[in-house]
Amino acid sequence: MFEAKLDRGIVLKKILDAINQLVNEASWECTSSGMSLQAMDTSHVSLVAVNLNGDGFSKFRCDRNMVLGMNLVNLSKILKCAGNDDKVTIKAADGDDKIKLIFEAPNEYEVSQYEIKLMNLDAEYLGIPETSYNVTVKMPAAKFQRICRDLNQIGDAVTISCTKSGVDFSATGDLGNGSVSLSQNSSFDKPEDNVTISMQEPLSQTFALKYLNQFTKATPLCSQVTLSLSPDVPLVVEYKIIEENEEDSKNEIGHIRYYLAPKIDD
Amino acid sequence: SANQTKIEHYYGLR
């Protein structure tokens, strides 16, 4: 028996919005410690990994490990039927070929139930080694989204260059070129606007903007995004999954990490 | 122009 309840169903909607264009089908691995998902995009250039901690749920029960393979586009459609303030429960019985989604409205007298068919998917899990990265940039998620969108007007790829003075995002295309430079800054009043750069050695790497723009669909989950880079390894773009409660308290319940293979010169 | 690499090139199957 698996049962997981989130008090703010909108979090699950945001997670699905963040991944369902990159991957259409994937398996959730459910264990006593939480739910996780790992999947490559169809062209095998990027990888998305979602982790939800069991203790981030208001109720979490997983009697034995389960793999719930499903069509994420369909899951997204069903989650659209939940109100943003609904409590959402996911239930799966051992050996069943479907899961149940239960939406409880805040008024406490309206309950909706949906079932979604499970699928047997060929799992291709990649092992991601512990890596210490040369460069880590923590910046406002909305700023990163804006930079990726703007530079995609200029070209298909962005070169991220880190030096002592800051981080440069630049693109070149038929019409010309463009760049955005950020230097470290911190504000006590608005920590969500901070740019934090930690660098061991200068570095420059190029990535396809098509994928980065897909990753930024996770922007509504968290005010800050973390980029981790090292030479000759994929870029990691991480968003914390933050649940905002009624009292405006913020609770970190997991994360989404996107991994993107670099473009390399001949 | 630069060539796009694949993610499996960096991370092996688990």
Quick: pLDDT tens for A165-222.
899 999 999 999 999 999 999 888 888 899 999 999 999 999 999 999 999 999 999 9
Name the nearest CA neighbour of A206 among B6, B2, B8. Answer: B2
Rounded-to-integer distance, Cα A263 and Cα A207, Å: 6
Report chain A's mean pLDDT, rounded to a whole number: 94
Which phi and psi angles does A60 have, rounded to 5°?
-145, 125
**CA contacts within 13 A on the Cβ side of A205:** 23
Is the pLDDT at A146 greater than 90, yes or no?
Answer: yes
Structure-token match 């586009």, residue found: A73
- pLDDT confidence tier of residue B12, bands split at 50, 70 and 90: confident
Using CB atoms within 10 A of its CB, is residue A232 exposed (0-12), middle (13-18) or buried (19+)?
exposed
> If DSSP states are collapsed to H, E and C, what string results for chain B?
CCEECCHHHCCCEC
Please report the pLDDT score of residue A221 as a whole number: 96
Strands A166-173 and A176-182: antiparallel
Contacts of B10 in chain A (CB under 8 A): 233-234, 261
User: Taking CB atoms and an 8 Å limit, are B4 and A45 in contact across chains?
Assistant: yes
User: Taking CB atoms and an 8 Å limit, are A263 and B4 in contact across chains?
Assistant: yes
Amino acid at A224: Q
- Closest partner residue to B11 (CB to CB) among A126, A157, A264 is A126
Helix (H) or strand (E) holding A227: strand A224-229
- Structural contact between residues A148 and A212, judged by C-beta atoms closer than 8 angstroms: yes
User: Taking CB atoms and an 8 Å limit, are B10 and A265 in contact across chains?
Assistant: no
Is the pLDDT at A59 greater than 90, yes or no?
Answer: yes
Rounded-to-integer distance, Cα A250 and Cα A237, Å: 21
Please report the pLDDT score of residue A254 as a whole number: 97
Q: Which residue of A has its CA nearest to B1?
A: A265
Contacts of A127 in chain B (CB under 8 A): 11-14
